[in-house]
Each structure stands twice: as structure tokens, then as C-alpha cells.
Amino acid sequence: MGASVRNSRRGNLPSESNTFVGRGSELARISSLWGSSRLLTLTGPGGVGKSRLAVRAAHAAQAAFPGGVWLVELSDLRNADLLTNAVAEATGLTEQTLRPLLVAVCKHLDDGPLLLVLDTCEHVLDECARVVQELLAHVPGLCVLATSRQPLGVPGEQLLSVTPLPLGEHDDAVGLFTARATAAVPSFALTDANRADVAAICARLDGIPLALELAAVRLRGLPIDRLLRGLDSRFDLLVSPARPRLARHQTLRTAIGWSHELCTPLERLLWARLSVFAGGWDVEAAEFVCHGGPLDAEEILALLASLTEKSIVTRESHGVAGRYRMLDTVRTFGADWLTGLGEQDAVRARHLDYFRWTARQGEAEWLGPGQRMWAERLSVEHANLRVALEQSLAAPERETALELTGTLWYFWFACGFADEGRGYLERALRRAPEHVPGHTLATWAHRLVTVAPDDVDAAESVSAAYVWLAQERHLPVPALPLTGASLAVRGESARSALLYGSSTQGPGGGGGAEFFQLLTLAVQAYLLAGQGAFERCAVVAERLRAACAKRGELWMRAWGDFFVALAGIGLGRPQDALVSARAALEAKWRVHDRFGTAAVADLLIAAEAAGGEPERAARLLGVGTRLWYAAGLPQLGDIETTVFRREYARRLRAVLGDTAFAEAVREGRGLSPEAAIRLALDGTPDGVPDGDRDSAPGGADL
């Protein structure tokens, strides 16, 4: 493999959206500290630039961390108990594991020197300290860069206080203001004539970057001298004669307040109502959640554009079209204003209603042509879903939480958030008696995301819970595929075959009925393959593919492709198997199913080896190792000790020799996610599959 593959970077750092100005001494200090400390915390007040400095430092440090540089943004995390989940999600670890998640994260990150950036820790400080201490103790190659308004308090922590930018006509504060002013008004230029006014503005704002950026935008409507006079008069109103200088945090709030005053009444109202969102929103969500009273839904798009012009709202330019967000400090100001208006309960209730509706729509359309779109959409809305879930768990109507947590079964189960789903479902079930509507759905969903491979009792409990759900909703009760699998594990294959006799009959329905009908075929194919009945396995898998094709469904159809490929290997048709396995892999990758991606990658090892491509098979052995750990598995032991891997390692080593085999495995394990998928799809590590994503499932690289 070429150097371009071996040196591929791993991580999820965002690209820097505008020019970085100054901070040369801080960047040098951060770089020097990696040799003496594994935990560095950037401290300072809100708006002083900690997050931007951390991202810049992380970009600069990538060469020193071949294991990857990972950013975990915590500002939208409202529940400290989900901090480990946030780390897992950001670093590409699927939560489909029954081990303690922190143990799985430690194992996942134990892959050479890597850097974890925890941004905005102060509101989850205690949990951050606990998790960081555990990670540093169990992952020797890990370094952590944190940003917080106060230290984490972990032994060995190094602190770097981030202060406002230096003032003066030739210093960084003037440089930042000039850069942002030029971006806002391309005709603006720093000259000898206006340099003193710019320096005075920077001094008035104490060199705080966020305040400087907000002020620079005002040049779209004001000349520089008017901007300075406006700042003077606005700030003088809030400063007593006994305090000629403002404290830094008061300066920032005043700067934001000044921007607030320059908004129209409807813009202020929208700003306040938008503060209930976490992680951003689209126009449809804003129209539903924020309309009411003097604010018509039809006005919201124009008002969003106006707030964007004023830099109160940021329109995301990558990944998701038509999506907006606010900086945490700006959002906090809006939330305080919303509380002052007395509207917080009503707007939060509309937020909950909107995401309940979103969850129901996703469930209704999951087994259809919109499946990939829903996987993407719910991953993007993950922070908002968490806010809605917390709101539902605080609501007096206990059925609200049961319904929302249960309806999201497909998100928990298929998109890699089983651990988080279990937590929410358990909380909802604990607070509601069995007779409450939605209890059966939540019970079934909880058992579904708790089942582990080869766990007979858990498999039977899922089927039993589905029977209750089908009866409660007056749906046809299909045969019980998981019970059939359980019987097969116990050696009762004849009886299990009888259970599958008419399993595909009956219409679909809500609450997973169609899902279970398709799963019946998948498990039947699995059982037949396990018995070596590959011809019959292929027939059943083709029926599964046909049933999914009628719905335009990808996720379950990929399992049909998987079993067709498995049958092809068993029947000695490796080239046919490759075609089906690659189709399965691309579908699993597209719908964010890391578990399925890893399983198909293993199947491709066998197909490539059988097709006479031992070197490629060995590289895929390395790829598969990474994919399995990214999936939070194995649940029942070390992936390297499985019979499959031991056997293929033995075969491939015998063909290639020890040195070539070890090098191929190492290269496969070191590939970036996109290169790994490309290697599996067409044998080359260059580029990405058609319809590629900016990141792997869940918004982060594997």
C-alpha cells in the first residue's frame, strides 16, 4: 500500500470556516505541553475564544496523533449521564454493546496516540472529571484537550488561561475585528484614518473575540465612527461612575444585549424562542416551534435570514442544507429572555410535540424508500431528540415518555444507539405503571435493544413482548422469528421450521409489525445457513430481498444480500458472493448500521479469500477488526479470538507468509473509514463510495 494510505488521518475535526487570527503564544504553549501532560484544560470566560483555539490547536497537532483527533462538543448536552455516550458517538463507537459503555470506549480508543477534545465542559464538570480520569487511566496513548470556564480538577491537569486578545492599534484584537469586518463588508479596509477608531472599539469591547465579531457585523449598516459612538453610549448606560471599566463577562453580555436592542421586536421574540433548540434546527422545525402570538409561521424564514445577517444565527454551510444554529453564549441570552417573557413552558412543549411527530413519521416510513433520509435526519437531530426525551420524562403525563422512547425503537436498534436507548426506556418504564398507554411498546423496544447474540432467554423475551404489542394494537401476530432462533440454538430445528411456515403472511402495521415479518425471513436464512442448507438459504434470502424491494427498503434488504452472499460462498460461487456482499456493505454504510457494516466486512474476507485474493482478504481482516470495535463489539469476548478470525488468519498467513500477512492486516486496520469502505467495495483504498458522507454513521468517523 502507498504512503498516502498509511498516513491517512482519522478524526472528526470540522474545517475552519474563517480566518484564525492571533493566539501564537497560546498555540506554542499548547504544543509544548503535550510532552509533559496528557490533560490540558483551556479556561476562561464565555466568548473569549476557548473553543476556536482548541480546534485550531487540534488541527495543528494531527501529525502527533496518528490514532486520530476527535472533537466532542458538549454545549448541547443537557444530561450529564450521557457524556460517555457523547464521547462514543463522536469517536465513531456504536453503542450496540452490553458491556459498560465506558469500558467499550476505552477499548475503542486504545489504538495508538490520539487526542480527544472535550469542548464546553463546565455544565457537566463532575461527569467530565470522572470520565476523563477513567479514560486516562485505561488508555495509555490518550491525551485530552478540554475547554471549560473552570478546571476539571483531575490529577495531573495542566491549565492554560485564555485571556482576551491583546489591545493596541497593531495587536490581535484589531486584526480579528478587521478580518471579520472585511468578511461582513468587503469594501472595508483598515487605514491610517480609521485605525484609531478600530482600536477604540476593540478596547471598549475588552478584546473579547465574540464581542468583536458581533460588533464587526454592525458595519453593514453603520460607518465606523457611528459604531464607536453607539458602543460608547450603550456601554455608558450600564457603567456607574464608580466602575469606569466593565468586568469581562459583563462586557460580553452588554455587547450581546446591544445586538439584541438593534433587533426588531419580532426578531427578538424569535431569538428567544429559538433558544429551546439544541444542536441546530431547520426552517420547518422553527416554524412549528416558534410560531404563535404576533409571530406568524410565514414570517420565520425572513426573520431567520435577518438574524443570520446580524450574526445572531449561523447558517450551516456544510453537511446539511437549510440548517441553522446559535453559539451557546448567544443561546443562553435568548433563553434568559424567554424566561423573562414567561413563555419557556409553552415553547418547550411545542418543541416536544414537534419531535414526537418527527419520531412517529420516522417509524412509519422506516421500512421504505425514505430509510436513509430518516437515518441521516435523526442523527442530525440527536441533540434535539435528547432535549425532547428529557422534557417527556419530566412531563406529568407518563405516557408521553413511554410513547417517545418506544417509538424511537428503530433509531436505537438500527442506527447504533442501543445503550442510550436502553437508558431512556428504563427511565420511562420505571416511572409508569403497566396499564399506562405506551407501556407495551416501550417494553418491547427495551427488550429489542437489550438482546445479545446467542442470548436465548433475551431473544424469547423480545418475541413475547411483540405478541403483547400486536394484540394490544389489534395487529396480525406473525410467527416468532426470535423464538425460532432460540429453538435452533437448543437443537430443536424441526420445530423451529414449523414456526416459519406462514411467517410472511399478513399486512404490515405500526409498532414494528413489518419489521418482524422481514426479520422472520432473515432469521430463517440464518438458521438454514447454519445447517449448511445453502440452496434453501439463498431462496429465503431472495424472498427477503424481494419483500424489501417492494418497500424500497435498504437496511433489511442488506441482510438479504448478506445471506445470498453467504450462500454463494457455501456453494462455491465466490464472484457471485462478492457482488451481493458489496451491495450489502454499501447499504449498511449508507444507513449508519455499523454492526451490519462489520458483519458484511467479515463476509467479504471469506469471499475475497475464496476468489483468490488473499492479500485483499488480509487487509479486510484488519479493516474488520476496526469496524467491530467501532460497533462496540464483541459483546461476548475479544474479536481476535473468534473461530472465524483465527481460521482465516491461519489460512491467509499460510498463503502470504508471516511478513506479508502482518503488513496487509496492519495496513487494513490503519485505513480511514472512507478508504476502508472503498477497499471493500472495489478493491482500491482511494476515494469514497458513490453518495459518500462527510462522516461515518452518527456524524463521526468510524
Provide the H-helix boundaries in 262-319.
Answer: 265-274, 283-290, 300-309
**pLDDT at position 401:** 92
Confidence class of residue 427 from pLDDT cuts 50, 70 and 90?
very high
**pLDDT at position 486:** 41
Per-chain mean pLDDT for the chain = 79
Are residues 413 and 334 located together in one domain of the fold?
no
The parent domain of residue 188 ranges over 172-205+207-245
Please indicate whether residue 589 or residue 298 has the higher confidence score (pLDDT): 298
Kindly report, residue by residue over 93-130, the tens digit of the pLDDT. 776 666 678 888 888 888 778 899 999 898 889 999 99
Residues 633 and 598: beta-carbon distance below 8 Å: yes
Are residues 47 and 177 located together in one domain of the fold?
no
Residue 683 domain-assigned (yes or no): yes
**pLDDT at position 250:** 62
510 pLDDT higher than 60: no
Domain count, the chain: 5
Q: In the chain, what percentage of residues exceed pLDDT 90?
A: 23
485 pLDDT higher than 50: no
Q: Which of 12, 57, 50 is nearest to 32 (CA)?
A: 57
Q: Residue 654 contacts by C-beta under 8 Å, 6 or more apart in sequence?
A: none
- Kindly state the DSSP code that residue 124 receives in the 8-state scheme: G
245 pLDDT higher than 50: no
Q: Residue 612 contacts by C-beta under 8 Å, 6 or more apart in sequence?
A: none
Identify residue 508 by its one-letter amino acid code.
Answer: G
Are residues 611 and 582 located together in one domain of the fold?
yes
Residue 252 domain-assigned (yes or no): no
Are residues 329 and 403 located together in one domain of the fold?
no
- Kindly state the DSSP code that residue 62 receives in the 8-state scheme: G
**pLDDT at position 354:** 96
Residues 527 and 496: beta-carbon distance below 8 Å: yes
- Kindly state the DSSP code that residue 592 receives in the 8-state scheme: T
Measured at the CA of 37, the angle between CA 101 and CA 13, to 5 degrees, comes to: 55
Are residues 25 and 43 located together in one domain of the fold?
yes
Residue 465 domain-assigned (yes or no): no
527 DSSP β-pair partners: none
161 DSSP β-pair partners: 43
**pLDDT at position 439:** 83
Rounded mean pLDDT of 599-627?
84
Rounded mean pLDDT of 209-219?
84
Are residues 112 and 195 located together in one domain of the fold?
no
Are residues 375 and 299 located together in one domain of the fold?
no
Residue 535 domain-assigned (yes or no): no
Residue 489 domain-assigned (yes or no): no
Provide the H-helix boundaries in 68-150.
Answer: 83-90, 101-109, 125-138
Kindly report, residue by residue over 397-412, the tens digit of the pLDDT. 888 999 999 999 889 8
Are residues 125 and 176 located together in one domain of the fold?
no
H or E element that contains 315: strand 314-315
SS3 161: strand
User: Tell me, what CATH number does 102's domain have?
Assistant: 3.40.50.300
- Any idea which of 215-229, 355-369, 680-694 has the lowest mean pLDDT? 680-694
Kindly report, residue by residue over 527-585, the tens digit of the pLDDT. 788 778 888 889 999 999 998 888 888 888 998 999 999 888 888 888 888 899 999 98
pTM: 0.74
Are residues 102 and 223 located together in one domain of the fold?
no
C-alpha cell at 95: 453503542
- Among residues 129, 161, 193, the one where a domain terminates is 161
DSSP string covering 318-385:
SSSTTEEE--HHHHHHHHHHHHHHT-HHHHHHHHHHHHHHHHHHHHHHTTSTTHHHHHHHHHHTHHHH
314 DSSP β-pair partners: 325
Q: In the chain, what percentage of residues exceed pLDDT 70?
A: 79
Are residues 91 and 192 located together in one domain of the fold?
no
**pLDDT at position 112:** 77
**pLDDT at position 216:** 86
Residue 38 domain-assigned (yes or no): yes
Rounded mean pLDDT of 248-273?
81
Confidence class of residue 684 from pLDDT cuts 50, 70 and 90?
low
Are residues 295 and 402 located together in one domain of the fold?
no
Kindly report, residue by residue over 165-205, the tens digit of the pLDDT. 888 778 889 989 999 999 888 988 889 888 898 998 888 88
CA–CA separation, 584 and 578 (whole Å): 10
**pLDDT at position 95:** 64
Q: Which of 238, 169, 234 is nearest to 207 (CA)?
A: 169
- Among residues 289, 321, 341, the one where a domain terminates is 341
Residue 362 domain-assigned (yes or no): yes
Are residues 335 and 398 located together in one domain of the fold?
no
- Among residues 320, 341, 362, the one where a domain terminates is 341
Kindly report, residue by residue over 444-474, the tens digit of the pLDDT. 888 777 765 444 444 455 555 555 555 555 5
**pLDDT at position 505:** 31
What sign does the CA torsion over 120, 123, 129, 132 have?
negative
Q: Which of 32, 113, 114 is nearest to 72 (CA)?
A: 114
